[in-house]
Amino acid sequence: MFDLMIVTPEKKVYEGQVYSIKAPGEEGSFQILSHHASMIISLRKGEMIIEDPNHEKITFKVTGGFLEVSHNKVSVLADSIEE
């Protein structure tokens, strides 16, 4: 598992530990798992799917933004999110 925080300019949307996150990158969709290499990637409009500690999937619709992976933590800075 790893720590995930999803924020928009208006509010914090999600914070907690997760097993995985699938996100729509500018160059195609990708998945992040525990201990992923550090990176920063821009997001395009699409669905972001996280798998929480109970192995339930939570879907957010993101309109764009950035995702950063560093030291087993993922931060999503989204333009806006539709739940």
Name the residue ranges covered by the structural domains of the chain: 1-80
Averaged pLDDT of the chain? 96
By DSSP bridging, strand 73-78 and strand 46-51 are unpaired
pLDDT band for position 82 (cuts 50, 70, 90): confident
d(C-alpha 43, C-alpha 54), whole Å: 26
1-80 placed in CATH 3.20.20.70: no
pTM comes to 0.93
- Say how many Å lie between the first and final Cα of the chain, rounded: 23
The two tokens of residue 71 are 């030291």
CA 24 to chain centre: 9
Encode pLDDT of 45-75 as tens digits.
999 999 999 999 999 999 999 999 999 999 9
